[in-house]
Amino acid sequence: MASNTKTMTSALIMLLAQDGRLHLGDPVSAYVPDVPGGRHITIADLLKMRSGLYNYTSAPELAATRDADPAKAWTPQEVLAIAFRHPPEFPPDASYDYSNTNYALLGLIAEKAAGGRPLAQQFQDRLFGPLGLRQTSLPAADDSSMPDRFSHGYMYGGSSYALVDKPYPPELQAAARTGKLPPVDHTRQNPSYATAAGGVISTADELSTWIRALVSGKVLNPTYQREWLHSPQPEDPKAPDGQRYGYGISYQRFGPNAAMYYHGGELPGFNSFIGHDPDNDVTLVIWTNLTLSPDGRTTANALLPTVLDEIYAGLSLPPAPSSTATR
């Protein structure tokens, strides 16, 4: 489910805040040492993609290593070391930038706040178990298997085209369209490089159950649910009515009577979108097993306008969310 995992990581952080084990205004340095500017970055900044920290999945060395050894087991410390070798993009809370580094840190913070309890076990005890999600799990770092039954996932070209939103060159597009370039099967990749940012495995049915429960208030208490629902803020201050990103969730209006809380996921082999519209009681899951079409579009996002038009017939819809907002 790739970055749809972020909805779960953020929910767990909110539950730990609800328990009084952490506060969203706490500095990152109180939980994880040696984070550049960690004394000035809050947990809320991480949740809202406003830390300014470099996105480790943008680093060429990550894609190169992943292509050379797709079964490699990664630790959060390894991917954070990649991120911290690069300077921050901007001061904390000065802007928005989608960065998986934020959620790698949040996974470590959740473990520290829970007295060292592993992230996978917390997901199971606090999210998956109570909601009856029996086919949803965060695999161990050295586990690259897929539970039966599963769909193979494919992508043209190397990992960087998915990890960095790197456009396909014309010659690759032409080769893919004519069949001269077969897609690569990425099914057996090890997603441990994503972990709290995108490592969870699930099914379409269970993702539907999850996003509906999260948005409708079955996960958090009323106080923290209100804070979570009101957390999204404009990604672009010049477009206040466009996409908003909050505590591990995006929000957008699709017309006067339609709005959806949503997220998306993208990694080599798979692309997905999950959303729930509480006003119209609409839950939507789009999941594809080709990351990018030959013309370079993220496949689930490319389908989204057509699906929304069917659901909300007659509404004038905005463009689909950008892949950087949903990866």
Q: How far apart are CA 266 and CA 269, in angstroms?
A: 8
- pLDDT for residue 319 is more than 80: no
- pLDDT for residue 273 is more than 50: yes
Decide: 287 and 307 in contact? Cβ < 8 Å. Answer: no
Q: 114 to each of 109, 125, 314, how far by Cα in Å? A: 8, 12, 48
CATH number for the domain formed by residue range(s) 2-141+188-326: 3.40.710.10
The reported pTM is: 0.94
pLDDT digit string, tens, across residues 275-305: 999 999 999 999 999 999 999 999 999 999 8
- pLDDT for residue 195 is more than 90: yes
Q: Could you tell me the residue ranges of all domains in the chain?
A: 2-141+188-326
Amino acid at 2: A
- Residue with the bigger pLDDT between 3 and 311: it is 3
DSSP letter, residue 323: H
Q: Taking the CB of residue 118, how many other CB atoms lie within 10 A of it?
A: 14
Q: How much is the pLDDT for 239?
A: 84
Structure-block tokens of residue 95: 């802007």
pLDDT digit string, tens, across residues 137-157: 999 999 888 888 899 999 999
pLDDT digit string, tens, across residues 73-89: 999 999 999 999 999 99
Helix-then-strand count for the chain, H and E = 12, 8
Q: Which residues pair with 255 in a beta bridge?
A: 258
Say whether 119 sits in a helix, a strand or coil: helix
Say whether 287 sits in a helix, a strand or coil: strand
Q: How much is the pLDDT for 271?
A: 96
Say whether 37 sits in a helix, a strand or coil: coil
